[in-house]
Structure formats: C-alpha cells, structure tokens
C-alpha cells in the first residue's frame, strides 16, 4: 500500500516512534522529510541519514509534490502544516494507522501494550530474537543499546513494536501476538477512568489475529473474560509462567528460575534491577516460548541485556556519587523506582523529579506526593508540558508543598541550572542521584557529569 507514496512528510518527526517510522520509510526508498518543534539528538541522527528535518512548523515546508502527510496524536487541527496539507489536498494518515499498515507485511507480528514497562519488554523480546538469529524488524520507544537505535530493519517475518494506548492508538494494530504487561490509569487527558482504559485494552486483545496469542499479566485476566483466543499468563502462583527462588544482588538485579508446569528454564541472572523487571522478563519469556525460541538463546539474551536507555540507566559518577536516570513518570512507576533505589547501597538519596504533563500532575498530585514523601531529598523542577498548555493551574511547586505537608522533604527549583548548582553543593561521596521523568530531566545528570 505504501508503494503508492514517493514523497512522505512527517509532522513531529523527532518523536521516538515517528523517527523510527521515518527511518523505515527511508530504508524502503521513500523520500522522507518532516518537522519538529526543537532540535534533538534524534533529529540530528535523522539528518545524518539524509532525512530532511525542519525545525519549527511552517506552511512553507509543504508543497504539491508531497504524496502523504503523517502526523501524531499530539498534532492538532490548528497546526499550520496540518492546515496547509488540507489546503493542498494531500492525503493524510496518523502515526498509528501507518504503523498498522506496516505491521500487515509480517507474519509474526508482536505488539507490546501496557501502562508500564512497554519499552523494557519490547527491548527484551528484541534481544531474544536477535540472539536467536531471527533478524526481526523492531520499532521501540527508546534506544536499544545493542543497536544504539530505536529502529532495526530486519529481513524476516518477525516484527516487534510497542503498542501505545494513548488516544487508543493501539487499536490500529492486528498482531499475531499481543502482550498486555499491565493496566493502570494514565493519560487522563484522554481516558476518563480506569474502566475506559480496561475496555480499550480488551479491544486491543480482540484485535489479535484469530490464530494468534495473547500474553497477559495475570492481574489483567478479568478484562479478557469471554475472549475466545489462546491466552498465556505470567505473574505469580496462578500464572502459566512464574518466577521462583528469586534472589537479588547488591544492585537489586534478580536471579530466578522461570517455570511453566513441567517446563523449567535454567537459572536466569538479570542485569536490570527490581522485581518489575522479573515480570518484564517473564512476559518476554512467554512470547519467546510461543515462537519456539531455544532456551539457550532466551537465557543468553536476558543475561546480556543491560536495559534500554533511560530505564534505571547508570549515567556515571559525580564526586563518587552514582547518577542514575529513569523514565518513570507515573506514581506506581515511581514507587518501584524508589523501592529499587532504597535497597541499593548509598549514603543519601537525591531524587530529582520532573513531572510530565499538567493533566497527569493534576490528576495524581496526591498520589505523587504520598510516594515522594517517603524520599529523604526530593528536588522538583518545572513540569514538562509535552503536548499541553497549562490551563489547569498546576505547578511543581504545588507538588513540593503537598509533599512537605505530608512530612516529606521537597524543594522546588525552577531551572535545571538551579538544580545542578544545588546538587553540586549538597552531594557527598556514596550518595545516589536519580533524575526521573519522561521529559528532558536527564540533562541535569549530564550537566553534573560534565563538571
């Protein structure tokens, strides 16, 4: 279907998913260009691959020679380039629908959904398939260190991708294997409550091909009631796949056996921390066994997996204090991040948090405050707006005040430079610094490490 479009323009090309699509299309000999609000490492990489990127949205970026315009859910009808494309009568398609079109070309398509852990599970499955020499095509919502990319073009029938629930984007996908890692209320600018989210995930499961397989966390099994498809669960004692005899090293990386009735994998030693990564590994193992991947390839891939970028990633040391960056941006994700960090050897813990979107911050203000009130030193910087404008009257200072009202210890510092200066003065040997959030808070750690 895409062969009909020679010149393709992408609005929001610098996004982690859009950039992967841009690379795929370029590899398939389409002439690709696009725009984004700001320059970034991603836009620089696209430019290095001869994909033209305009910084800023401008009507002049489009003309009659464009055959197709691709846009993300974050792009609205008042966008100047959207308006121009409509004036020119150019065919338009959203990101998710285009991904769904690409997916149709692959027999063994795997879509990983869930409120949390999508990138980690996608990365684990990708590494297993690469280790097993299945040569997969990969679309991932982060940078996979083994390829230093968020995209890999394979030459086989294996296709792995994240399936984002925002605006029901994942309902454009019809995979052979659909993974539901968990379901937790989020994206409250779209989903009004958990019940609406659960209905969307149930629809995603129904989209799995009739001869396909659903891999789900046992906690989500109720939303799949009445579904006449093969379902494999992972989790604890009531699941098909379970982890037993779990132990942790000093970095909180687990060692365990994965079992499924009479199937027992040899002991697996993870190199990513926390119990949540045990569950992520079980999801990946479940997929791999359904694809009949050799046990040795599964074990080797998981044991050599050191995480996707920005997922509890060790960035370096500042004055003999560890600097770790993590993508957590939901109260439950932050709870797991804190629990893992507290079990690691450290003197003082410095938790630098950048809330992500005004709607999420406002909806979960009390939940964020409760979780963060249990941390000895919290530094809050301004909310990362992403696709939103602040029409909600919510600020990071509000969150700092609420944390302190609950007996916590939080300080609001407006800019990254203020946060860097504060940490520079306060941090001692053997402290642990976490930069946390889905925005650009990682730059604080990078600035510290550059001093």
Q: Hey, how many other C-beta atoms are within 10 angstroms of the C-beta on 246? A: 11
Known catalytic residue: 137? no
Catalytic position from the list 119, 233, 359, 435: 119
Known catalytic residue: 43? no
Catalytic position from the list 23, 81, 162, 333: 162
Known catalytic residue: 119? yes
Positions annotated as catalytic residues are: 118-119, 162
């Amino acid at each position: 279907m895409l062969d009909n479009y020679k010149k393709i323009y992408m609005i929001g090309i610098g996004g982690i998913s859009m950039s992967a699509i841009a690379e795929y299309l370029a590899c398939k000999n389409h002439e690709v260009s696009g725009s984004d609000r700001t320059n970034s490492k991603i836009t620089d990489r696209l430019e290095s691959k001869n994909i033209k990127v305009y910084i800023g949205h401008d009507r002049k970026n489009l003309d009659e020679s464009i055959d197709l315009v691709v846009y993300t859910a974050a792009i609205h009808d008042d966008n100047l380039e959207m308006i121009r494309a409509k004036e020119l009568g150019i065919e338009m398609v959203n990101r998710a629908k285009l991904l769904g079109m690409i997916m149709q070309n692959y027999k063994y398509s795997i879509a990983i959904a869930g409120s949390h852990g999508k990138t980690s599970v996608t990365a684990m499955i990708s590494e297993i398939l690469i280790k097993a020499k299945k040569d997969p095509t990969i679309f991932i919502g982060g940078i996979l260190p083994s390829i230093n990319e968020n995209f890999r073009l394979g030459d086989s029938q294996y296709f792995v991708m994240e399936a984002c629930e925002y605006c029901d984007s994942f309902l454009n996908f019809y995979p052979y294997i659909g993974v539901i890692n968990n379901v937790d209320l989020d994206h409250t600018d779209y989903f009004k409550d958990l019940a609406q989210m659960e209905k969307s995930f149930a629809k995603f499961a129904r989209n799995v091909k009739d001869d396909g397989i659903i891999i789900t966390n046992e906690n989500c099994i109720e939303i799949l009631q009445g579904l006449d498809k093969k379902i494999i669960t992972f989790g604890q004692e009531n699941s098909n796949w379970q982890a037993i005899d779990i132990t942790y090293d000093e970095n909180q990386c687990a060692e365990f056996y994965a079992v499924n009735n009479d199937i027992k994998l040899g002991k697996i030693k993870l190199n990513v921390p926390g119990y949540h990564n045990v569950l992520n590994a079980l999801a990946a193992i479940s997929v791999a066994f359904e694809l009949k991947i050799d046990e040795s390839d599964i074990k080797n891939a998981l044991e050599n997996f050191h995480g996707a970028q920005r997922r509890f990633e060790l960035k370096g040391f500042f004055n003999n204090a560890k600097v770790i960056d993590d993508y957590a941006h939901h109260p439950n994700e932050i709870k797991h991040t804190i629990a893992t960090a507290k079990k690691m050897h450290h003197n003082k813990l410095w938790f630098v948090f950048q809330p992500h979107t005004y709607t999420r911050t406002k909806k979960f203000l009390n939940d964020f405050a409760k979780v963060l009130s249990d941390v000895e030193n919290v530094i809050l910087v301004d909310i990362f707006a992403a696709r939103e404008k602040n029409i909600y009257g919510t600020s990071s200072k509000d969150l700092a005040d609420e944390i302190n009202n609950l007996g916590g210890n939080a300080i609001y510092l407006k800019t990254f430079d203020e946060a860097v200066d504060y940490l520079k003065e306060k941090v001692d040997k053997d402290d642990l610094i976490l930069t946390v959030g889905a925005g650009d808070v990682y730059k604080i750690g990078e600035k510290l490490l550059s001093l």
